[in-house]
């Protein structure tokens, strides 16, 4: 697929509504006290994080949804990841509801799968469906037992709160160290019908491919088979979430789900063709924008940093090189300090795991429509230091590398490395 390298990542019309933009999806959020459990100190005090009160989210579809998923490749897998994968296999790629808690990852704690299944059971019972039709996810601290009591008590209020405009309540409930909610949706046409696709995501640390970020839920009313949804999701994940790195740490609980209610009324897309391309491109626009939001809200970040690698012999090479630059702690610190050090860019390109020759690359810094060439054919240049400082002082910076080795391009998203990243992660658990 062709990537669009621009701020909007596509030309579909933006629409409000996040995971509720598509027809047939209700959502709600609630504060049940798991985050308070997380914050229990030696003194017995329980205090939720400020501005992040909700810690459990529910999504329910009006109809059974064809569903696709992509999960962490970490060998230490969160219990909810295991349960969700099994459920989707048992239901033949169908789901009706999603339950997610933040504050506790329900991972490496002994009874995680039992608890994750219990969460599915609580939701299934209310809906009168099989537990395998429920998707479950958790995010937060690893290695602690998940208390089930608060979740049991939250079920009734969550169902009472369900609404076709509940997307924001859900999007805020899945946040951990995120400072802002992440939602995006677009409108498109498939099979002559107006369709919607939208999603929510949460970061904001332990973020690195493959399956970059932790939790992502995308819904559409465009009818499509589970196989087609999986194909679209896998293709788009490769060039969006998997091109995101906040800190190089790949989480145990990464989950990205795509659910289709089919309520747009189009003929179900069951093969490749024009409608598939449209759906995939709309999905790309949603996921690229969510990826951008995740990078910009990376733990401690003050700047969004993207790297566009151009002139590569193939797309995989472009991806590997762009990601290597975005991941480099030295590049990230230089971006924080607005230091136009081109050596670190070249260095990170040089140790990227590819055979591609990068020794003749041109490197530019770009922001707010201004552009400066700092390296030409692999050689550092003397350049206007004031202009470089101005460009690197913006809150959104692009590093553009032209390899002169082909015609393929890819973008990777990241952020700067700051004092606050160290502060947040020096004392996260306690």
| Helices and strands per DSSP (H, E), number in the chain | 12, 15
Distance CA 204, CA 211 (A): 13
Told to check if 138 binds a copy of itself by CB under 8 A, we report no
Q: What x-and-dash track marks residues 258-297 binding a copy of itself by CB under 8 A?
A: ----------------------------------------
Residue 62 main-chain phi, psi, to 5 deg: -70, -25
Q: CB of residue 383 vs a copy of itself: minimum separation in angstroms?
A: 10
Q: Give me 115's structure tokens.
A: 């608890």
Q: What b/e sequence results for 184-211 when a residue is b if at least 16 CB atoms lie within 10 Å of its CB, and e otherwise?
A: bbbbbebbebebbbbbbbbbbbbbbbeb
CA 139 to chain centre: 13
Strand 182-190 relative to strand 13-14, pairing: antiparallel
Applying CB under 8 A, what is the total number of residues that bind a copy of itself? 67
Stretch near a copy of itself under the rule CB under 8 A, chosen from 94-102, 278-286, 373-381, 399-407? 373-381
Among 43, 45, 50, 75, binds a copy of itself (CB under 8 A): 75
Backbone CA torsion sign across 297, 300, 303, 309:
negative
Question: Catalytic annotation on 189?
Answer: no
Q: Nearer Cβ to a copy of itself, position 220 or 252? A: 252
Q: CB of residue 285 vs a copy of itself: minimum separation in angstroms?
A: 29
Q: Nearer Cβ to a copy of itself, position 158 or 346? A: 346
Length of the chain measured in residues: 430
Among 37, 184, 284, 336, binds a copy of itself (CB under 8 A): 336
Among 114, 160, 249, 272, binds a copy of itself (CB under 8 A): 249
Given a contact cutoff of 8 angstroms between Cβ atoms, the answer to whether 300 and 253 are in contact is no
Backbone CA torsion sign across 108, 113, 118, 121:
positive
Q: Give me 124's structure tokens.
A: 């299934």
Which position among 72, 176, 213, 214 bears the catalytic label? Answer: 213
Instruction: Write out the binding residues for a copy of itself, residues 406-425 only, by CB under 8 A.
Output: 417-419, 421-425
Instruction: Write out the binding residues for a copy of itself, residues 154-213 only, by CB under 8 A.
Output: 205-206, 208
Q: CB of residue 341 vs a copy of itself: minimum separation in angstroms?
A: 5
Told to check if 86 binds a copy of itself by CB under 8 A, we report no
Distances (CA, A) of 324 to 12, 154, 332, 391, 392: 30, 43, 11, 22, 19
Q: Nearer Cβ to a copy of itself, position 215 or 417? A: 417
Told to check if 318 binds a copy of itself by CB under 8 A, we report no
Residue 20 main-chain phi, psi, to 5 deg: -100, 5
Told to check if 375 binds a copy of itself by CB under 8 A, we report yes
Told to check if 244 binds a copy of itself by CB under 8 A, we report no
DSSP string, 209-275: SSS-SSEEEEEE-S-B-HHHHHHHHHHHHHHTGGGB-SSSPPPS--EEEEEE--TT-PPPB-SSSHH
Told to check if 349 binds a copy of itself by CB under 8 A, we report yes
Catalytic residue numbers?
A: 213
Tell me which residues touch a copy of itself (CB under 8 A).
Answer: 42, 73-77, 105, 107-110, 141-144, 205-206, 208, 247-252, 327-330, 333-334, 336-337, 339-344, 346-351, 357-359, 374-375, 378-380, 385-386, 417-419, 421-430
């Amino acid at each position: 697929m062709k990537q669009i390298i621009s701020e909007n990542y596509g030309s579909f019309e933006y629409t409000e509504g996040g995971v509720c933009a598509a027809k047939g999806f209700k959502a709600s959020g609630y504060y049940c006290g798991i985050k308070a459990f997380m914050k229990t100190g030696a003194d017995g005090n329980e205090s939720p994080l400020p501005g992040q009160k909700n810690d459990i989210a529910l999504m329910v579809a009006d109809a059974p949804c064809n569903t696709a998923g992509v999960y962490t490749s970490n060998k230490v897998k969160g219990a909810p990841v295991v349960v969700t994968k099994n459920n989707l296999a048992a239901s033949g790629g169908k789901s009706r509801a999603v339950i997610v808690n933040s504050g506790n990852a329900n991972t490496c704690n002994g009874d995680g799968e039992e608890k994750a299944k219990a969460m599915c059971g609580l939701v299934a019972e209310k809906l009168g469906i099989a537990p395998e039709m429920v998707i479950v996810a958790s995010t937060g601290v690893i290695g602690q037992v998940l208390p089930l009591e608060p979740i049991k008590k939250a079920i009734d209020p969550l169902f009472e709160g369900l609404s076709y405009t509940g997307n924001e309540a859900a999007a805020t409930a899945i946040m951990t160290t995120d400072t802002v909610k992440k939602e995006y949706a677009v409108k498109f046409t498939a099979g002559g019908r107006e369709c919607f696709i939208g999603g929510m995501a949460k970061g904001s640390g332990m973020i690195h491919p493959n399956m970059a970020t932790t939790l992502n839920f995308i819904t559409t009313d465009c009818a499509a088979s589970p196989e087609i949804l999986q194909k679209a999701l896998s293709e788009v994940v490769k060039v969006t979430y998997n091109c995101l790195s906040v800190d190089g740490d790949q989480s145990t609980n990464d989950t990205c789900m795509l659910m289709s209610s089919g309520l747009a009324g189009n003929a179900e897309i069951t093969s490749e063709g024009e409608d598939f391309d449209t759906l995939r491109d709309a999905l790309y626009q949603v996921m690229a924008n969510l990826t951008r939001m995740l990078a910009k809200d990376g733990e401690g970040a003050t700047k969004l940093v993207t790297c566009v690698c151009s002139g590569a012999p193939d797309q995989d090479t472009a991806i590997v090189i762009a990601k290597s630059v975005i991941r480099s702690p030295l590049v990230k610190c230089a971006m924080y300090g607005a230091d136009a050090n081109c050596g670190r860019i070249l260095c990170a390109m040089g140790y990227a795991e590819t055979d591609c020759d990068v020794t003749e690359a041109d490197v530019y810094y770009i922001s707010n429509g201004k552009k400066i060439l700092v390296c030409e054919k692999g050689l550092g240049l003397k350049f206007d230091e004031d202009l470089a400082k101005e460009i690197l002082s913006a809150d959104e910076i692009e590093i553009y590398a032209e390899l002169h080795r082909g015609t393929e391009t890819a973008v990777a998203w990241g952020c700067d490395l700051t004092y606050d990243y160290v502060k947040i992660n020096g004392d996260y658990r306690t």
